[in-house]
Structures are given as structure tokens and as C-alpha cells.
Amino acid sequence: MDTDTNAPLLGEPLPVELMNTIWADRNGVHDALRDPEGTRAWLHAVSSRIDLMTPDALDSLTTSDLDSLGGRLVGLRDALRRLAAEATEDPRRAAASDIRELEAAVTALNRAAGDTPHWSALSWKPDQEPSRHVRTGGQTASAAVSAIAEDAITLFSQGTRQHLRACLAPGCVLYFLKNHPRREWCSAGCGNRARSARHYQRHRHTTA
């Protein structure tokens, strides 16, 4: 079973990583959640960052389960990309979400956060350190989607939103958090492409 996702993983918060399951290269724009195995691969890739997810639980999911999860993740991703476009004043047509209205995106995000309840529980036995566990009233993978949505609500409702950026390198459709004053691009590769494009344009104007 292939557990390697095609989506770029940039170490961003999980809501941003989910936004970036839409990505682009020279061959066009791609969707890492396009089929059940793509969904499983992406969830495997991020499972260590979600309390509710384990590789064994993911491997036990049926194709029908993955179809349903994939649909929920895509719906949440479309909402997040619309909200990100609003927050960043994103001008990129290729990056536009299938959800056009801000209100519809907010509704979709709130619904995703409440779809599957999950909560923290404390374990503390004599002679042992106390520890936190996450419990859910439904399938753990479904609760993980709701947990990502809840993280997204935190991202967009707090000051972190002001650090969200659309990568404006040529052909890129990704988002990132500006975690350093000099960071302009989602990755070093995009930075190199942007500098090359600028150099080409300057050279073209000089020789014209």
C-alpha cells in the first residue's frame, strides 16, 4: 500500500497543509485527494500530528470510508482556500476555490468542525504521570477532519490570520504562514523561480 502523498508538506499548520493538497507544477494543477488512495496517503502523512489518527486505524478504512472522508476533506479544503483568499487578497485565478461566497465558506467550516464530536480526557493512575487522551463519539478519522476544522477556526479568528500568505511565485497555488520577516515564498524552489522570472523580465526590458 502506497502511503506517500503527492501533496507538498511544508511544515505548516494542518489547515494550511490541507489547503495545499491543491498544488501545481509544469503539467498543471493537481489534487492530492482525487481518489481514495490519495486521501489515505495524505492522512498517513499527517497522522502523527493529529491525536486521533493512527496508521492502523487508517489501514482499516474501506474504500467507501475513504470516499466519504475524501469528500469531507475536499469540502473543508475548498472552504479554507476561500477563506485564505479573503484573508490574503489572493489575486491568483488558478488558486480560486470552488466555493465562491465567503458566507458559504464560513458555513462549511463551522459544519465540518461540528460533524464529529471529540474531547480531551485525563488519565492519572497511582505512581504514574498524568496524561491527556483524545476521545470521540464517532469514527476517529472523521473526528480528525473535525479537529482540523477546529484548528482552522482558531487560525482565521486570531492574529495568526495576518501571517497567512498566498505564494505569488509563477504558477504556484499554495499558501503559507510568513514565519520570518524575510520570507516571501512557500518554498526555496518557488523563491528560485520567482527570482529567475524577475531576472528574465529585467533582461528583456534592458535588451528591448
What pLDDT digit, counting tens, does each position of 36-89 carry? Answer: 999 999 999 999 999 888 888 899 999 999 999 999 999 999 999 999 999 999
Identify the DSSP state of 170.
T
Q: What b/e string do you get for 117-126 counting C-beta neighbours within 10 Å, with b at 16 or more?
A: ebeeeeeeee
C-alpha–C-alpha distance, residues 77 and 194, integer Å: 26
C-alpha–C-alpha distance, residues 63 and 95, integer Å: 29
Predicted pLDDT of residue 202: 62
Q: What is the mean pLDDT of residues 184-192?
A: 90
Q: What are phi and psi of 15, to 5 degrees?
A: -60, -35
140-157 and 102-114 helices, crossing angle to 10°: 140
- Which of the pair, 4 or 201, is modelled with greater confidence? 4
Predicted pLDDT of residue 182: 87
pTM (predicted TM-score): 0.89
